[in-house]
């Protein structure tokens, strides 16, 4: 279990609530991935492959080094969840795509990661809109 990105000084109620949310969210994500024997990073990459795409595109979207993606995709490939086909238009590049088993695993992950769904579901539609507006404003 990853250590929480905890509050240093809890100056306000709202800040504490934000921290609690982030902590619970992260733990739930990790737990859902673990249920499928995936690391959070693997689940994340798998979830970005609704359409096949290149390694570089993944790296840029996820904000990490390309060599990091190489490793994670290699593990997903070894698990049979992903293929890494050559790009016919550019022989330097690879196109990563989920296999049928990858699709199924991704779907099972989406089902297992209930936290966001459940949390939002505790709010009425009006409250959901309020929350969205407040979060958007807070994010600046």
Partner DNA sequence: CCCCGTTACTTGAGTGAATCAAGGATCATT
Partner DNA sequence: AATGATCCTTGATTCACTCAAGTAACGGGG
Residue 75 interacting with DNA (CB under 7 A): yes
Binding partner of residue 73 among a copy of itself, DNA, none, CB under 5 to 8 Å per kind? DNA
- E strand or H helix at 94: strand 90-98
Q: Which is nearer to a copy of itself, 44 or 79 (CB)?
A: 44
69 binds DNA (CB under 7 A): yes
Distance CA 129, CA 74 (A): 40
Is residue 91 involved in binding a copy of itself (CB under 8 A)?
no
CB of 138 to DNA, least distance (A): 24
Bridge partner list, 53: 96
Q: How far is the CB of 62 from a copy of itself (least distance, A)?
A: 5
Of 43-51, 78-86, 90-98, the window that binds a copy of itself (rule: CB under 8 A) is 43-51
In the chain, which ranges are continuous DSSP H helix?
13-35, 40-47, 55-62, 66-78, 100-112, 115-121, 125-139
Report the C-alpha gap between 126 and 21 in whole angstroms.
20
Strand partners, 85: 95
How many residues contact a copy of itself, by CB under 8 A? 62
Residues binding DNA (CB under 7 A): 1-3, 39-42, 54-57, 59, 64-75, 84, 87, 90-94
């Amino acid at each position: 279990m990853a250590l929480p990105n905890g509050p240093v000084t809890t100056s306000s109620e709202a800040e504490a609530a934000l921290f609690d949310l982030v902590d619970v969210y992260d733990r739930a994500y990790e737990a859902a991935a673990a249920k499928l024997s995936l690391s959070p990073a693997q689940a994340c990459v798998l979830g970005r492959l609704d359409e096949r795409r290149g390694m570089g595109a993944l790296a840029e979207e996820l904000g990490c080094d390309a060599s990091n993606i190489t490793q994670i995709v290699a593990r997903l490939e070894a698990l049979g969840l992903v293929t890494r086909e050559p790009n016919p238009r550019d022989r330097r590049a690879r196109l990563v795509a989920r296999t049928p088993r990858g699709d199924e695993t991704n779907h099972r992950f989406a089902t297992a990661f209930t936290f966001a769904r459940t949390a939002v579901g505790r709010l009425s539609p009006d409250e959901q809109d309020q929350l969205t507006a407040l979060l958007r404003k807070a994010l600046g």
